[in-house]
Structure 1
């Protein structure tokens, strides 16, 4: 693999993380789900032990939530290229949900797979960095 190929994979995976946050904030659920491999797995930072697997269950999980305004901010994205078709990443996330509430601070550990030339999440595992319990 050349340096340019590695950089291209890193860029594509970092873009996927940022696109996910943007589409999520716009409640474009079909497009969010399409960022996952068909058997993709997600855990929310607020429920790190509750895996949601597959397009149908992912869509149901997103659409079952009441509508709300959110703003996700992604930072410290570090992508590790494993092969021409697999990669992983870690990132930090801030989730703003209301002007009078502190943001949730968390992390994601992602795994990516290239299917038919397109990078997708195979796993997106979230966790909170700071507990919201009083």
Structure 2
């Protein structure tokens, strides 16, 4: 693979992940889910490395991630440094440093799935990408956490 082609793919994947965080911040759950392959997965992990949730497929991703959203919820995501490896013209993987802040209204219900009113987290997205029909999509994201700070 030529250097320019590899760099072009890396830039496309950076833009894909930028759309992911923008769609999350604007609570555009269907748009966010459509960045995944139809059978894509999203698995956020707790700081100890255990699975917090596992979402399979676009519909489940949109519904589950969307459950954090709702009236009065503010989401802020930042992506920082990235390490993207292009495996072929149709597959790649990468790690993206991230920070997120979730603020829910005072009267928001706290549950086992969403055990907080406010959260400030730090960690990494570990992503696997595939290209089909000339479009890059997310096949899998695992979100690891270094730190999570909760507020009541």
**TM-score, normalised via structure 1 length:** 0.89
Separation in structure 2 between the aligned mates of residue 55 and residue 2 of structure 1, nearest angstrom: 33
Deviant stretches of 4+, over 4 Å: 45-48
Partner residue in 1 for 2:89: 84
Cα RMSD for the two superposed structures: 1.9
Greater C-alpha Rg: 2
For 1:29-108, what aligned pairs fall within 5 Å after superposition?
29-46=29-46, 49=51, 50-67=53-70, 68-98=73-103, 103-108=120-125
Structure 2 unaligned residues grouped into runs of 5+? 104-117
Distance 1:66 1:19 in 2: 17
Distance 1:41 1:32 in 2: 12
Aligned to 1:117: 134
Question: Which 5+ residue runs of structure 1 have no aligned equivalent?
Answer: none
The answer to whether the Cα contact below 8 Å between 1:48 and 1:127 also exists between their aligned partners in 2 is: no
Q: Give 1:44 deviation, angstroms.
A: 2.2
Structure 1 residue 29: Cα displacement: 0.7
CA distance in 2, matches of 1:123, 1:69: 25
**How many pairs are equivalent?**
131
**1:65, CA displacement in angstroms?**
2.6
Distance, in Å, in 2 between the alignment partners of 1:103 and 1:15 is 24
